[in-house]
Structures are given as structure tokens and as C-alpha cells.
Amino acid sequence: MLVWFRAVSYTVRYGKCHDGKCLGGELAGGSKPFTGGGERARACGAVARLRGFAASEALLRALLLHVARGYSLRETVVQAKAAGLGEVSDVALLKRVRKAEAWLRELCLALLGENQVSVPAREPGRVLRLVDATVVKEPGPTGSLWRLHYSLQIPGLGCDFFALTPTAGAGVGESFLRFPVSAGDYILGDAGYCTPAGVEHLSRQGAYGLVRFNSGSLPLESRRGQRWDLLPRMPSLTEAGRVGEWPVGVPEPTRRVEGRLCALRKSEQCILQAHRRLRRRASKTGKQVQPATLEYAKYVVVFTTFPRQEFTALEILQCYRVRWQIELVFKRLKSLAQLGHLPKYDESSSRAWLYGKMLVALLTQKLVRIGRAISPWGYLLADAESERMARV
């Protein structure tokens, strides 16, 4: 992944590969999201006049120099001038960044359409999605926090949706309600998504959910409508690796959502590690660890509405292990693409910077996807073959 990210960054800077063939043309110029770039930029308000730049493509490459290469504004204008992209001041470039938010967002959303993947499934149309969110902070003690909501398809690891929201305010937390959902989707989330509203949202849309169980946020009831407690039933799993399953329901004012709990007992070593983490966290906050919390820490417990006839309890728990892939994606975004640290100018430029980072990540993802068809010299073999046959 690092090699592909550097390839995109190199193309942003030089526009061509070592032999003069334009790899950027494969990623940008010949790609549907980038066709009609000037009209799209004007429609989004990013360009009124191309003062200092010959074309909107040159402006986009200059913006991505600031984002992908990590240059400061002053470094960016120097590099842009050296690359022949344009000649502007750092103040003028900052104004361009502020106006580019909607443009970069449109390009990202257009690339998402190209990055869709078909997921092999037991039945046609099945889509397995991992959803999560990560926080990005502006530098400084007063830096603003932004939350990136992200959806990943399995097994292709293609991003099919993302949204950027502040961390403060109503309706901006982690929730299934933040994601578009289609009937037949199979969606995995961590404990932050284990809420009655989120579970009901998936059920109403005809989708299925799998979340890490949070006893404090998800009330359960039996088939008879009585309050249902998991804790007294967990000691029946006496050995590491033992799996338990219980049918439950989530009470809602308008409808009841049927589901089941699946639990697996951890090994003794994992239990000791979990207890140490809980006690260490409690000591930092001056709180006492409750006995129920220590008991829950002995197990991996998930709530799911996946069809029982298609997924056994063991298969449900194995599916949940796949959720770690989205954590690895966030790690790559923050380490390779340096998504976790954004310059502090103002809200509009910060959002534009984040959308630019996502654009670079999506371009990298596209390059990875078509990488098998690209020759070592940087262009599609099919194009090279057609040119050779034309000369013959």
C-alpha cells in the first residue's frame, strides 16, 4: 500500500512517469469522475477565474501537492511553480483551498462509484459492510475535532461511503443512522453502534446487523416480552472456546426487532489481559471496576439479526473478527496518508484538506485495484498492444 500511495504522490508532483507516459491520465484524466473537470469545478464554486493557473487540472494538482505531499502553503506554491502548474501566492492558494471543499467532495463521491466491488456471497446481491468512525484533530490545545464516518466492503476492502462531521453537537456520534442502507446489506459495527435506534434502522431498511454487545445501551427481552439478562447465563460457558447462543428481542415503541446473542469464552490469558486493562483504566479515572464488568470481560458477546438458517453462532463470531479490517484501514490512512493531523486554518479549509486526503486515498485504492493490469513502465498493457497493432 505504501508503494501505491507514493506512486499517486509522485504523479501529483510530476504528472508523468519516467518514460513520459502519463500514469495520472489513467487515474485522473481518463477517469469518469475527472471528465469535465473545469465545469465541475465552476459548478462547485471552486473556480470563477483561473488566475495563476492554466487549467482546473493544474489547480487540482497544486491542491493535492499541499494535501498528498504534506507541503506547507509556501512550499506548495514554490513546488507548483517549479512543476509548471501555476504561479500564485500562498495567501491566494489558501483562498483556493477554502473554496475547493465542495469540489473535492464531489470528486471523492464520484470515485466511490468507480471503487464499488462485487462481493462473493452465498446468494446474489449480498453485501457485507464494515462501518466505523475515527476522530481527526487540528493541532494545538484549542484544535477542533472532526469525525470521519467510513464504510468498507468485504472482501474487496473498497470504501462505499464516508461522511465528515464535527464531534460536538446532536446527531454526529457513531450510529447506523449516519450510513445509507439498502435491503439485503449485512453490516458490522463495534459496541458504539449497539443501540435500539440503530438496530431498528437496519431492520426497517431490510438490512441485517452484527454489533459487539453493550449491555448498558441495548435492552433485551425474551420472547414473552419479559426483561432478559445475559449475565446469569454466561457461567454455562466454562471452557475457552465454548460458544453459546440465545434468542432475544430488542423492544421498540413501534416494533420489536428479533435477534440473538452469540458469546464465546476467552482463553485465561486473554481474560487476564482484559481485566488488567479495565483496572488500569479505572485507576486513571478514580473509579471502581464493577463485578459485572469483570464477568463480561471474560467473553466476546455480539448481538445479530443475521438469519439463523444461514449463519451459525460460530460463523457469526468468525464474521465479527473481520471487523478489525476497518481499524487497519484507519491505521493506514493516519500513518501513510497522514490523515490524523490536519493544518489549522479555518473550518472550510480543514474540511477541504480532509476531502483532499480522502481523494488521494481513493485514487490509491483505484491504483491498487487496477494494478495487475498496469505494466512496470506505467500504462495499461491493452493500450500499448493497441498502439503496436495500429503501427503494424
pLDDT of res. 357: 77
Sign of CA dihedral 250, 251, 254, 256: positive
Q: How many CB atoms lie within 10 A of CB 376?
A: 5
Give residue 49's region: left, alpha or beta (phi > 0; psi -120 to 50).
beta
CA dist 251 → 168, 175, 197, 211, 214 (Å):
29, 18, 10, 17, 15
Angle between helices 90-99 and 73-82 (to 10 degrees): 100
Q: Which amino acid is at 285?
A: T
Residues 6+ apart with CB under 8 A from 335: none
pLDDT of res. 127: 75
Residues paired with 302 in a beta bridge: 212, 262
Q: Which amino acid is at 262?
A: C
Joined grid coordinates for residue 352:
477541504
Residue ranges with strand state E in the chain: 127-137, 145-154, 158-166, 185-189, 208-212, 243-250, 257-265, 299-304
pLDDT of res. 94: 85
pLDDT of res. 156: 66
Q: Please name the residue that has the C-alpha cell 476522530.
A: 135
pTM of the model: 0.66
| Annotated domain spans of the chain | 2-111+343-391, 191-322
Residue 77 near residue 52 (C-beta atoms within 8 A) = no
pLDDT of res. 340: 57
pLDDT of res. 104: 82
Q: Which amino acid is at 247?
A: P
Residues paired with 300 in a beta bridge: 264
Backbone angles phi, psi at 195, to 5 degrees: -135, 150
DSSP strand pairing (208-212 vs 243-250): unpaired
Residues 6+ apart with CB under 8 A from 306: 186, 208, 209, 210, 316, 319
State the DSSP string of 137-204.
Answer: E-SSTT--EEEEEEEEEETTTEEEEEEEEESSSTT-SS-GGGS---TTEEEEE-GGG--HHHHHHHHH
392 residues of the chain, pLDDT tens digit each:
444 445 555 555 555 444 434 444 444 444 555 555 577 788 777 777 778 887 888 888 888 888 777 778 888 888 888 888 888 888 888 888 888 888 887 887 777 666 553 333 445 456 789 999 988 776 655 556 788 888 888 776 677 888 888 887 777 788 999 999 988 899 999 999 999 999 999 999 999 999 999 988 899 998 888 888 888 888 888 888 889 999 999 987 677 899 999 999 999 999 999 999 999 988 888 888 888 889 999 999 999 999 999 899 999 998 898 888 788 778 777 765 566 555 656 667 777 777 777 777 777 777 766 665 554 544 455 544 444 444 44
Q: 3-state DSSP call for residue 86?
A: strand
User: Measured between alpha carbons, how far is 126 from 290 in angstroms, rounded to an integer?
Assistant: 41
pLDDT of res. 9: 54
Q: How many CB atoms lie within 10 A of CB 167?
A: 14
